[in-house]
């Protein structure tokens, strides 16, 4: 499996430090953003992409790259450094939206506190001076290892795409598995994405026969199709 991490680090090289920590723990290629523009990324299975957060979003050059560069890998993870880390779902949303619309599925996200002197913060010396620190870099390293390992165990996205097409062709089977058909479709979709954690639904006929005594098996909460 081939992994590449692309970063754009401007002021204090916060994001570059994160990238080095991640690259030191997983086998991957590392590219600066301007080098990635000249690189064919189609041969990579997983891409990491990140920068600092500037006025509520990733650096504009990172957003432009995600919007314009083709082809992109089928899966990626997004990372960043920010002055206000706990708002990272909001900070990441513009980049995640662009990537998802480009058929590059975002499998994980990470944000670390970073020394932030953007805008008026420079007049007070910024916030989070000295971050990311050793603890932050260790967290980034663990994140990279976990993300790559989980992705390695998962079905490759290109096979999942083919499986989704097979799902659409098996509507008859899905209706046989559920009175309404909807539950059967979701079950087949879970096979396509998570073949290692299948939970089998109890069909409506069985529930009727048992007069409501059979309990429906719960599905995993996280499902990229349903979300």
- Residue 115: is its pLDDT beyond 90? no
pLDDT of residue 15: 87
With 0.75 as the threshold, say if the pTM is over it: no
185: Cα separation from own chain's centroid = 24
pLDDT of residue 86: 81
Confidence of residue 125 (pLDDT cuts 50, 70, 90): low
pLDDT of residue 58: 92
For the segment 139-162, the average pLDDT, to the nearest whole number, is 77
For the segment 45-51, the average pLDDT, to the nearest whole number, is 95
pLDDT tens per residue, range 176-219: 344 444 454 454 455 454 544 544 444 444 444 444 444 444 44
pLDDT of residue 13: 78
> In percent, how much of the chain has pLDDT > 90?
42
List, in order of start, the domains of the chain with CATH numbers: 3-153 (3.40.50.360), 157-209 (no CATH)
């Amino acid at each position: 499996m081939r992994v590449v991490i692309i970063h754009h680090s401007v002021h204090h090289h916060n994001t570059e430090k994160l990238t080095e920590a991640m690259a030191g723990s997983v086998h991957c290629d590392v590219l600066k953003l301007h080098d990635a523009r000249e690189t064919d990324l189609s041969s990579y299975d997983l891409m990491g992409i990140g920068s600092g957060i500037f006025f509520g979003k990733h650096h504009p050059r990172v957003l432009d790259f995600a919007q314009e560069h083709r082809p992109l890998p089928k899966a990626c993870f997004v990372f960043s450094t920010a002055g206000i880390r706990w708002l990272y779902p909001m900070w990441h949303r513009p980049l995640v939206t662009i990537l998802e619309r480009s058929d590059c599925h975002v499998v994980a996200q990470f944000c670390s506190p970073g020394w932030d002197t953007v805008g008026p913060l420079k007049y007070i010396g910024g916030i989070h001076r000295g971050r990311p620190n050793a603890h932050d870099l260790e967290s980034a390293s663990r994140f990279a290892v976990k993300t790559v390992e989980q992705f390695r165990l998962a079905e490759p996205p290109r096979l999942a795409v083919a499986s989704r097409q097979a799902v659409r062709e098996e509507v008859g089977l899905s209706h046989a598995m559920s009175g309404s058909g909807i539950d059967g479709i979701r079950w087949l979709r879970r096979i396509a994405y998570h073949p290692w954690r299948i939970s089998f639904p109890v069909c409506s006929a069985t529930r009727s026969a048992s007069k409501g005594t059979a309990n429906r098996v719960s599905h995993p909460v996280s499902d990229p199709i349903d979300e």
